[in-house]
Amino acid sequence: MDLLKQLLSHTSVRKFSHDKLSPRIKDQLLCAAQSGSSSNFVQAYSIIEVTDPQKLAAIETVANGFGYIKDAGAFYVFVADLNKHAQILTQHQQSLEALKNEESFIVSVVDTTIAAQTMAVYAESIGLGICYIGGIRNDLFKMAELLELPEYTFPLFGMSVGYPGKKNEVKPRLPLEDVHQTNCYQSLSAEKIAAYDQLMEDYYAGRSANAGDADWSRKMLAHFHEPRRTHTTEFLKKQGFEF
């Protein structure tokens, strides 16, 4: 498939066949992830494949992702990881202060996200489906316990990868003119929001699975109705970050 056509056909998969991925395919996925760009080549991420049935069941509960985590072909947790770098600094009797601030944390988040998306693109290029699982952040302390995470790490998201059992239709993205700007930021107008709401309402009403009455504004109002995952700051402090 043409790469652009493949990218434009992306949709999250939440129903997989029960076939597990072969070791060869998993190695390819990991090599693809590692090929992504990294700021100053710090490679501030780790990828934890979870295979233990009890841990997978616990993660499904944390993420409220029943049916598409333990049943996927493989499940990975992408961890923003500065612990490796803490080890190097400690071995050379250097301060860890530079690891603890916002910039270092952002670098680790960006590195981790690039690795994950590179894996996702490769996975879809060979006919697999993927679903990002941000719900693992519903209980960061539980995830750290399950994965035995050390200081200076943060479980950013999971990813289910496998052979699609069913795929939803592609969601209409915001019009390109509403995300691409030249030289300065341009806010959305009420008219543009209303037009996109109508587009999304038509999509949800006509979707072949889980059809419903919704639009973008109503989804965003529900999502941002109140602060989410308010334990994140406490968890970051526990992990050694200071900001």
Going by their DSSP bridges, the two strands 74-81 and 153-162 should be labelled as antiparallel
Question: What would the pLDDT profile of 50-100 be if each residue is shown by its tens digit?
Answer: 999 999 999 999 999 999 999 999 999 999 999 999 999 999 999 999 999
In a domain, residue 56? The reply is yes
In a domain, residue 182? The reply is no
In a domain, residue 144? The reply is yes
Question: What would the pLDDT profile of 128-145 be if each residue is shown by its tens digit?
Answer: 999 999 999 999 999 999
Round to whole Å and give the CA distance between 30 and 51: 15
In a domain, residue 240? The reply is no
In a domain, residue 225? The reply is no
Domain span at residue 148 reads: 3-170
| Burial category of 25 from C-beta neighbours within 10 Å (exposed 0-12, middle 13-18, buried 19 and up) | middle
In a domain, residue 236? The reply is no
CATH, residue 131: 3.40.109.10
Q: What is the pTM of this model?
A: 0.96
In a domain, residue 32? The reply is yes
Residue 112: the pLDDT is 98
In a domain, residue 179? The reply is no
**Cβ contact 16:68 at 8 Å:** yes
Number of domains in the chain: 1
